[in-house]
Each structure stands twice: as structure tokens, then as C-alpha cells.
Amino acid sequence: MTVRATLTAAFPEARRISEFLDRDFGQDGVPVSLDEGPGGRWSVDAYFDRDDADEVADEIRDRLGADAFGAPLEAIVLPETDWIAEGLRALQPVEAGRFVVHGSHDRGQIRRGRVAIEIDAGQAFGTGHHGTTAGCLTVLDGLMRVRRFENPLDLGTGSGLLAIAMAKQLRVPVLATDIDPVAVRVARENAALNTVGPLVETAVAPGMAHPAIRRRAPFDLIVANILAEPLMRLAPAVAAALRPDGLLVLSGLLRHQRERVVAAYGMQGVYLRSARLFDGWAVLVLGRGPD
């Protein structure tokens, strides 16, 4: 039997809940997914090989404690169905510029001439279905059409999707970091799956604090698809690691948060070049001096 436990919350809280669930249950083989729902709410689903829904709910509450942010929790016993396979089939390929992000169930179905990236829903954020990820891919595709980058950084890499995209298109070494060790492991595995393992260097790093970042800085392209508050907090360190002619691609922020993020980087001498919205989420391109 399978028990599906579902918690619903706004995106920042839901993302953190998914990370906690994966941390506490992932090592036991419990799949965890993060999906957008109606009204700006997100659902975190975890699938347990159990037959007692109440027992699962009690264990989740015990493990999460205050970190559940008061999110509603529902646990039900599912009929005998391969729900993981059904969920994967529901994730259709996402097209963003030249890139197509797909799951393993669509392997071999991508038409010629597209840059295919295989990412299954799982233990880290970034399957291409969220507006921030698809938006970053679209913006990166446009930038890489007109400029050659030699030393990119993917800060807060999640599943590794953006680092993989840069490695595939640029064929140069890409540094991919995240504060979450699980995400870093997943990113490393995804890079190998997409045949760019030797080009993607991964590291567990809180913000910009890691020897690999210091060793490879300054970067000519820094991509950070995280959240508005950490983007603002990291502005001095990110700006210091950017080459004078380098570009920043920032996302994970809503329309109304854009001005504060732009102001934080403007104080560091890095200014807005362009801003686009994808499903209500902003993707910013910033650089020093004139365009």
C-alpha cells in the first residue's frame, strides 16, 4: 500500500517543507515532489510505502515540528496504482528557447535541433515547470546567443538544471553551488546523466562562502534563482565576485520585489539591464556600466 502525505503552503514555505521532508525521509527512499497549485499555493507530496495514513501524518508532524509553518497536512491511503509513474507522465516537456526540459519518460521524444535536458521531479527544486526556472532558461538562451561566457556560476543550483544548460551550450566548466547537500548531490547526478558531469563542478556552499568560489572568481556570468531576501543579503558578495564586464541573471522574486533587489545591487554598482516576467515571476539581467 502507498500513503500520500500532502502539505500546502505558499512557495517559500512549501520549498522549505519539501527540503525538510527530503532530509528526514529521503534516505528511506520516500519520494518528495513540489508542485504549483491554484491561487499561488504549492503542494508538497511525499509517498510512503505504508498502510496507515494516521501513523504517517503523526510521524511527519513529529519530524517537522515548527518547521511545518502551520501548513495543512492531509494523508490518505492510495489505491494500488503506480502513482510515481503517473505523476511523471503528467510532467510534460517544457520548452524555453532552444532548451527542452523533460523527464525520463519522454527520453527519445525530443525533436532534433533542440537542446534536451533530462530532469525528473524529485529531491531538488528545478524541473523547468516553475516560472522562475523556465524564465531563467529563456533569458540565458538569449544571452548565450549573442555572447560567449567562459566562467559561469550557478548560485543555488537546486537540481542543477541551469548549470547543465550552460555547460551544454557553452561547453565550458560551470560551478554549481547550493546550501543544501542533497541538492548538490542531485545536481551532480543530473549533470552526469546529461553527459556534462566533467564540466559541472558542484559544491555545498552557504551563499558565496566557499573556496571553490574564491578560486574561480571573478565570474563573467552569475545566475542566482533563489529568493528575494537572500538575493539582497548576498548583493555585496555577489557583486564583488562579478567581472567588470560580467552579467547577473537573478530570479526567484515576484513582481513587487523587483525594485528592492535592483536597489540592493545598484548600491554595489551593478545596474538593471533588462527585466522580464514569467508567470508573475521576475527574471532580471544586471551588469556594471553601460549596456
Q: Taking Cα atoms as reference points, which of 123, 192, 185, 124 lies closest to residue 164?
A: 192
**155 and 228 assigned to the same domain:** yes
pLDDT at 108 over 80: no
pLDDT at 69 over 90: no
Give yes or no for a contact between 63 and 26, defined as CB atoms under 8 angstroms apart: no
- pLDDT score for 246: 97
**pLDDT tens for each residue of 221-270:** 999 998 888 899 999 999 999 999 999 999 988 778 889 999 999 999 99
Which of the residue ranges 23-32, 192-201, 224-233 would you say has the lowest mean pLDDT?
23-32
Q: Taking Cα atoms as reference points, which of 30, 38, 87, 15 lies closest to residue 60?
A: 30
| Residue finishing a domain among 49, 70, 89 | 89
| Residue finishing a domain among 28, 54, 89 | 89
Stated as kind and residue range, the H or E segment containing 48 is strand 41-48
- pLDDT score for 78: 79
Give yes or no for a contact between 75 and 53, defined as CB atoms under 8 angstroms apart: yes
Q: For residue 91, name the pLDDT band (cuts at 50, 70, 90).
A: low
Contacts of 289 (CB under 8 A, 6+ apart): 244, 271
Q: Is 133 helix (H, G, I), strand (E, B) or coil?
A: helix
pLDDT at 84 over 50: no
Which of the residue ranges 36-45, 168-177, 200-209 would you say has the lowest mean pLDDT?
36-45
**67 and 134 assigned to the same domain:** no
Give yes or no for a contact between 155 and 136, defined as CB atoms under 8 angstroms apart: no
- Spatial distance between the Cα atoms of 80 and 220, rounded to a whole number of angstroms: 51
- Higher-pLDDT residue of 119 and 272 is 272
Q: For residue 31, name the pLDDT band (cuts at 50, 70, 90).
A: confident
**125 and 152 assigned to the same domain:** yes
- Spatial distance between the Cα atoms of 73 and 52, rounded to a whole number of angstroms: 15
pLDDT at 281 over 70: yes
Number of domains comprising the chain: 2
**141 and 262 assigned to the same domain:** yes
pLDDT at 202 over 80: yes
**51 and 99 assigned to the same domain:** no
Domain range spanning residue 42?
Answer: 2-89
Percent of the chain clearing pLDDT 70 (strictly above): 83
**48 and 133 assigned to the same domain:** no
List C-alpha distances in Å: 103 to 115, 174, 190, 210, 238.
Answer: 14, 23, 11, 32, 32
List C-alpha distances in Å: 204 to 210, 231, 271.
Answer: 8, 17, 28
Mean of pLDDT values over 57-75: 80
